[in-house]
Structure 1
Amino acid sequence: MQPILAPHVRTFVDCLTDLPVQPSSVWLIGSQASGRAQAGSDTDLLVFGPPGLIDAIRATLSQPHGIDCMVLVNGDDFEDPWQEKGGSLSRWRWALKSATEAQYEGNKFIADEPGGSLGQFETRQERAHPHLVQLKASGMRVFPPEVRQARRPTSLAPMATSWINRAPLGHQTGEKMLLVYVDTGGMLKEVAALEAAGLLKTHYFPFEQRNRRVKAFVPGSGASWKQSNLSWKEAPGTWNDYKPSALFEPLRKLLGAKVDAQHLDSGVKAGCSVFLTSDKTDIWSKRDAIQALANIRVLHMPSELATLRQLANQG
């Protein structure tokens, strides 16, 4: 369910989304999202986006009244653009329940007045104060708005899914398909069968080696010629299409391995909403943080093949 925001909060969110450096998602957190708000409670927001977003906010917007705004500055840490507050997703144990709902563990500074927000942000005074209590809290995504595309009932939680009416590189198909990026080990014969049935479209760039089951290539984010396992004629797009997006550096910091970030950023740039991988340790284990940062859902192959089938059949 899309949360109802106060008019001044909605105006502020609209201002965030109009910035030249735009957020990838904005979440309502704190007492307003957890149902503990009382009259006079502030509204707490958590904003995900590319590097430079917090600087754009400071340069363009004034500090809003009654709103605490936390902005992710890398794959884990966040800060308030105007106040000495901050924290990290890992300390919060931030976890997505769906594409529009999250849960985390926040701290309440007991010196706060009753009915105030969950004091989940840390100032120097609060870090030094021993009287902090831990609370489970909820987050609700307010941007981008929830998208409902399913044509038949499904047991899956609502998810923001990218659907398009065209194939990659501008070739019209006239049908809607789920766009999926596969890394080197994510393409199974079962996935190829779903593609052959017209239920999804796979995309891939062979940074490490070619996968014969993948037919459609996309420009590889930051790919060097040595990384490409394609001939010059096979390489899609122009050289400019191989430039990384603003999400590449946060993804690389989150994942560690450059090639993992390249695969994910390539999928994001191609408009894919699902990323298939066989890497449970380095990629799938960080799926919640990846989805919050880049709005792409990571599925492990083959253990989540049934989930992929359900998503593909939603259209």
Structure 2
Amino acid sequence: MKIYAEHGALHHELKGFQQRGIIELVTFPYENKNHNIPGLATPSAAQLGDLGNITIGQMKFRIGDMSASERYEEILSIVGPRNRRDALHVDSAYKSGCAAMLSRDRHIVGKAARLYALLGLRVFHPDVEWEGFVQFVVDSPEAARVPSTV
């Protein structure tokens, strides 16, 4: 199960889920790079200035892949037009087929219900909603295939 984690939204227990093969962590370094998140999400409508934290060698996608999804404008409307990079993170999670997203950003977390209704993407704050995230992961089909998940 893919989980999108913004660079500042890692929780120390995530590594265990990843090591057991329950989750695959992905992100796209629009603002900052986090070496603890190995997977690269599909970029959204990134502009040249959004790509400063990724080298050409790390770009495992075509330039044409850096396009917005069909839901991007609605995402931008929900998180607010002044929060374009927040919308890029959400759209990248959606385009990458993530089941959930971890974020500390109030423009994203505060709109979790609306984003779920639009995209089917669960949004969790890694500190405030950690227990809910753990339950989400434990209840997933991926966790059922792995012995002793918690």
Q: Same fold (TM over 0.5)?
A: yes
Interval containing the TM-score (normalised by the shorter chain): 0.7 to 0.9
Q: How does 1:151-162 map to 2 (within 5 A)?
A: none
CA distance in structure 1 between the aligned counterparts of 2:138 and 2:35, rounded to whole angstroms: 25
1:118-267 residue pairs with structure 2 within 5 A? 178-228=1-51, 229-256=53-80, 257-267=83-93
Bigger Cα Rg: 1
**Does the 8 Å contact 2:102/2:125 carry over to 1?**
yes
Percent identity among equivalent residues? Answer: 25
Query: 1:255 offset after TM fit, Å?
Result: 0.6
| Counterpart residue type for residue 13 of structure 2 | E
User: 1:298 — aligned with what?
Assistant: 123
CA distance in 2, matches of 1:288, 1:246: 19
Give structure 2 stretches of 5+ with no counterpart.
Answer: 142-150
Cα displacement (A) at 1:226: 2.2
CA positional deviation for 1:260:
0.6
Cα contact 1:187–1:211 (8 A) shared by 2 = no
Q: Does the aligned pair in 1 maintain the 2:28–2:41 contact within 8 Å?
A: yes
**What RMSD, in angstroms, separates the aligned Cα atoms of the two structures?**
1.2
- The AA in structure 1 aligned to 2:2 is L
2:9, 2:104 within 8 Å by CA — same for their partners in 1? yes
CA distance in 2: counterparts of 1:282 and 1:226, whole angstroms: 21
> d(CA) in 2 for partners of 1:225 and 1:187?
26
Does the 8 A contact of 1:219 with 1:236 survive in 2? no
Task: Report runs of 4+ in structure 1 exceeding 6 Å deviation.
Answer: none
SS at match of 2:58: coil
Q: RCO (CA 8 Å, sep 6+): is it higher in 1 or 2? A: 2
Written as runs of structure 1 = structure 2, the 5 A alignment for 1:94-105 is none
Scaled by the length of structure 2, the TM-score of the pair is 0.85
1:277 corresponds to 2:100: no
Contact (CA 8 Å) 2:4, 2:41: kept in 1 or not?
A: no
Q: Quick one: distance in 2 between partners of 1:236 and 1:300?
A: 28
Q: What is the deviation of 1:188?
A: 2.2
Higher relative strand content: 1
Give the structure with the larger helix fraction.
2
Q: Is the 8 A contact 1:189 1:213 kept in 2?
A: no
Q: Is the 8 A contact 1:219 1:266 kept in 2?
A: yes
